[in-house]
Each structure stands twice: as C-alpha cells, then as structure tokens.
Amino acid sequence: MFGWEFPPHITGGLGTACYGMTKGLLNKGAEVLFVVPKAYGDEDQRAVRLVDASDVTVDVYDNEFVQFAKKFTYLEVGSNLVPYLDPEEFENITTETKLEKELRKKSIFSRKYEFSGKYGKDLMEEVSRYALVGGAIAAKYDFDVIHAHDWLTYYAGVAAQKVSGKPLVVHIHATEFDRTGENINTILFDIERSGMMAADRVIAVSNLTRKIVIDKHGIDPKKIFTVHNAIEPVDKPEVLNIKKAVKEKVVTFLGRITFQKGPEYFIETAYKVLQKDRNVRFVMAGSGDMLNKMIRRVAQLKIADRFHFTGFLKGEAVDRMFALSDVFVMPSVSEPFGLVPLEAMRTNVPVIVSKQSGVAEVLKHAIKVDFWDVNGTADAIYGLLHYKALFEMFKKYGKNEVNDLKWENAAVKIMDVYRDAART
C-alpha cells in the first residue's frame, strides 16, 4: 500500500483514513506493507508494517532499472506543483536557477533520496522519485495486490505493477475537480487519469466521486467500486468531559481553509445568525490559502468579537475542539466524502453538512443543506441552538449512527475488490 502520510504526521483526512483502513484490513486477515515517503518512528505499527521510502536504495546503473526508467517518461516532470498556496507564495518558491534544476534532477536519480514527506516546493520531484521507489520495492517484497492512495502515489503504484505484474487498485479520495472546481491543473488531472486508466480496479470514497471519475476522467464504470469511509472510536473518552470556558454556544468549522471546503459560506452564515443572536461564538479551525481572505471578511462584517481562528488542529486537539462545540458545520462545495462530520458526531456534536458531500450519502441523522444556501444553514444552526429537543435528537441518534460506521465493515468491501482484481 502506497500512501503519502500516516498518523500522527498528517495534514488532513487521507492519513486518518489510511490508518483506520489498515486496522480494519488487519482484523479481516490481511497483511499490509505500508510505504510512506518519510517515517518518523513514532507511528502506530500495530496494524501495519511501515516502509520508509527514504531508506530504499535505487541502483540507477542496474540494467533492469535503466530499461524500466525508459518506459516512464513522467519521471521527467519538472513542475513545481504546490497545493493551496496563494499566487505570491507560489511565485516566491518557483523562482530558481538552472543550476538548482540540475541539482534536483540528479537527486531524483541518486541511489538514496531523503524525502521530506511534505507538500512543499519539490512535491513533483518527490512524486517522481517515489515512483522509482515503488518499482524497487515491488522487486524486493512478496505481495498479492498493490493499493495506491490518491494522485501522489499513483505513479508508484503503476511502477510496482509494471515490475511485479500484480494487480493495482487505486483509491480516489479527492479529484482535481473537487480541489479546484473547473479551473483544474492539467498536470494533476493527467496523473489522476493515467493512474486510474492503468489500474485494474478503482475505489471511490462515495457515489459522488464515482460519478466524477466516470464523467470527467472517462474511466470504465465496470471497474469502479464505491467504498464509503468509516471512523475510529474516540481513543480517550475523558476528552468528551472537557468544560467550556465561555458561556456562549459554539459553532465550529474544521478543515482546510480552501475553495473546496466553502469557508466563505460559513462566515456569511455566521453573520446571518449573529443578526438574530449575539450569544454565539463561531470557530474556524484550520489553515489554507484562503485564511487571510477569511480574516479580512470577518473584520469587514464587524463580527471579529464573536469569531475565532485556531490554526491547524490534529489528533487529540480535534476531539477537544469538538468537546467544546455545540454544532459543527461542513459547507463544502465539493466533498468526496468528509470524515470530519463523523469525528464531530462521535463526540456528541450535531452536524450540518452540504448536500454536495459524499458523507451525506450515508448519514441519516445530519441536517443536509446546499453549500450555497446561507439562509438555510443559518436556520439550521439557529434551530439546533434554540430547540433543545431537536438538539438532543441529532446528538443521540447521530452518535448511535456513527458508532455503526466501522472500518471493519469497509475492509470487507475492500477485500472483495482485492479478490476481484486478482481474478482478472
């Protein structure tokens, strides 16, 4: 299995999903060798054996490698692709000399390569090198199936497939259309499409994502299977007993502050609610390229005394934030799945999610509103905050519902996809 991150070193839901998935697969009898660009040594390896790509040597003079590399023209990709940066930041990091480019090219084909494991200015370089490592690992280890998560690892998966002849399953957690709308990065789109075209089977995290993959990427519907994500139970129940230090109700947005997540709609909704009730505090937890814009908008609306920005949260800090919350809102413009509402529900927080999210397909006890419907979302927030019976119903039945969304159940479906791929 090829991934880009693994807890506790994560930047979003992908690493969290990979962790829960591998635990579920272990409980169903699978053995997982999980490859990450950079391992830190403090990862939980009870359910998985981690391989640090930075420790894998590649013999660039080996004849077999030379023949292999000739087939992979994408290794020459030199784009400085960095997700979620504003134009000024992007311009700063893409200014480089010809010498720097030459040094970087040599480092890709060196025997060993130190991955950062981040989403920095050398991301495409790391993706290219990761593909070489994928081929080297496939030649070294024994396995039955290859599983690659999202575009960052697709080329590594394809390389392992070419070397071993074993079936490849690619897992699409988000598409370029989800991240950017119609203003797509063509390099990213091409990587996504070529990875899915090469795969024997494709797993989509929702029917919404499956439809995008069919309509936008032109992938054969017969090889695409939907497996909805799941959620781990709270590790530390005492987190749920944290007491608030403020008397007002707290409404929370938690996620990347980017176009995809719809943060501007959350702010406009907050303004609407505060016109009717000033005894509410709104929290935007996360970071991203739209953060400064959102801070300015809050100032323009003169609601800064009721609005808080926490920065990026992870791990136990997420559960603590939910323990302090009365309502969680996810107004995503396009959300392939959306694990965060499940994290909120397991800590007894009623949730409001956009109808344009995959998680809306599996949740019954969540209020569903179009992402653009600021008035509808404001009404939902006001109702949950002011009508106790409504609040208690969504709190109780939401918690019960999310407790049944187990990774073990998702693992059964994933194992079926593995077996189906192995028969082809």
Q: How many Å is the Cα radius of gyration of the chain?
A: 22
Among 61-65, 113-117, 285-289, 343-347, the range scoring the smallest mean pLDDT is 61-65
- Residue pair 328/264 in contact (Cβ under 8 Å)? The answer is no
- CA-CA distance, 335 to 164, in Å (whole number)? 34
Report the pLDDT value the prediction gives residue 8, as an integer from 0 to 100. 79
Check pLDDT > 70 for residue 61.
no
What mean pLDDT is predicted for residues 54-80?
A: 54
Report the pLDDT value the prediction gives residue 101, as an integer from 0 to 100. 46
Residue 161 CA to chain centroid, in angstroms? 24
Six token digits for residue 323: 């323990």
Check pLDDT > 90 for residue 116.
no
Using a pLDDT cut of 70, give the percent of the chain over it. 84
- CA-CA distance, 397 to 236, in Å (whole number)? 21
Report the pLDDT value the prediction gives residue 363, as an integer from 0 to 100. 96
- Say if pTM beats, i.e. exceeds, 0.85: no
Report the pLDDT value the prediction gives residue 185, as an integer from 0 to 100. 86
In the chain, the domains with their CATH numbers are: 13-230+408-422 (3.40.50.2000), 237-403 (3.40.50.2000)
pLDDT tens readout for residues 363-375:
999 999 999 999 9
Among 90-94, 111-115, 338-342, the range scoring the smallest mean pLDDT is 90-94
- CA-CA distance, 344 to 325, in Å (whole number)? 9
In this prediction, residue 100 has a pLDDT band, given cuts at 50, 70 and 90, of very low
Using a pLDDT cut of 90, give the percent of the chain over it. 59
